[in-house]
Homo-oligomer: A and B are copies of this chain.
Amino acid sequence: MKTFPVFARFPISLFSAAFFGALAAPAPAATLGGPLNLEDEGSFFVNGQSIRSEYPGASLVTGPAPAGNITVNQMYVHYRVPAGRRGVPLVMVHGSNHTGMTYETTPDGREGWATWFARQGHPVYVVDHSGRGRSGFNPTPVNAVRDGGADPKGLPTLFLGPIDRAWANFRFGSEYPKPFPNLQFPLEAIDQYLAQLVPNAETTLAGGGRNTIDALAVLLDKIGPAVVVVHSQSGVYGLDVVRKRPNLVKGLVSIEGGCETLNQDDVAKYFARVPFVSVWGDNSIGAWGVNGNQRREGCRHAVNMINGGGGKATFLLLPEAGIPGNSHMMMMDKNNLQIAGLLRKWIGENVR
């Protein structure tokens, strides 16, 4: 077991001014690029359902619990509403093995997209998929096998990609541990990055990932029209949210998300009205895995279909825009705010 040094960019001295008041100590460097002045900030849940659990497990302190109702399928939503808000609201949705942390502070301690967009005036809603992170998961299928003799073969698989898999899938390099020579991902902080990966426990929920799609639709019902930002696994979720709430998605921003379910019918029904941008880094090129050539070219095809059907879609291949070296986790890459700036420009030009 290897214990890694944590939070290397924030030595004790960084925050020490707080403990000595505002005396002689210089103000510590902040993560953010400037003040974050919020009119509101907080969190809530959408899409929770109360179900009976026959196997709610045992507290190590108070012992086994009898069967009863637990809440599942809920989605945690964290909102930041800037003072003097002046931009369209954004909903930010992460991908496989991740949580909303995707859009918070980068692994090397720089500003992420959530606060950056808020500081530009956009209300920002960051979610954890149903079944992931603060959204919890359903423990019943596991406890049932442990306590009740249900068939172990019926256990949900709880996928958490090891570093080798993460390395290749998230496009830090073709094969661990060799990085791409032009890589923008802050590999010096990879231990912080790996710490944010969590098991895909939505497999414990009836309906799996569909709960997140349902929850996103309900979220839009609550907050009103917004631009939805999806990533990787949630690329196809974004397409489904457009199908469910075409009048509430002001634009769909897909960061190396899949487009494979888009069809001609969707274009006529929905995407003629919903602006769409599919963003790809150049480390997707040459890869035939999940986040490589096949998925990317599928999105190029989808963009062409939308534009051919009277819609407004953009295929943004970063190296073609003169921006080399981006990984699949471009919201954390060293040039993450340059890409955020491109997206903000796209929103300004395409979203009414």
A-to-B contact residues, CB < 8 Å: 1-4, 6-7, 10-12, 15-16, 18-19, 21-22, 27, 30-32, 35-51, 53, 56-62, 64-71, 74, 76, 78, 81, 83, 85-86, 88-89, 96, 99-101, 104-105, 109, 111-112, 115, 123, 128, 133-134, 136-137, 139, 142-143, 145-147, 149, 152-153, 155-165, 169, 191-192, 194-201, 203, 208, 218, 221-225, 233, 289-290
| A137 contact set on B, CB distance < 8 A | 198-199
Q: Is the CB of B81 within 8 A of A3?
A: no
Question: Which B residue's beta carbon lies closest to that of A167?
Answer: B68
Which 5 pairs from chain A and chain B are nearest by CB? Answer: A68-B162, A139-B158, A42-B105, A136-B198, A45-B195
Query: How far, in angstroms, from A31 to B42 measured CA to CA in the complex?
Result: 7
Q: Is the CB of A68 within 8 A of B155?
A: no
| A165 contact set on B, CB distance < 8 A | 56, 62, 65-66, 68
Q: Is the CB of B146 within 8 A of A57?
A: no
Q: Is the CB of B162 within 8 A of A69?
A: yes
Query: How far, in angstroms, from A216 to B16 measured CA to CA in the complex?
Result: 17
Question: Which B residue's beta carbon lies closest to that of A215?
Answer: B6
- Select A142's contact among B19, B38, B78, B142, beta carbons within 8 Å: B142
- Closest chain B CB from A130 CB (angstroms): 10
Query: How far, in angstroms, from A1 to B152 measured CA to CA in the complex?
Result: 25
| A198 contact set on B, CB distance < 8 A | 134, 136-137
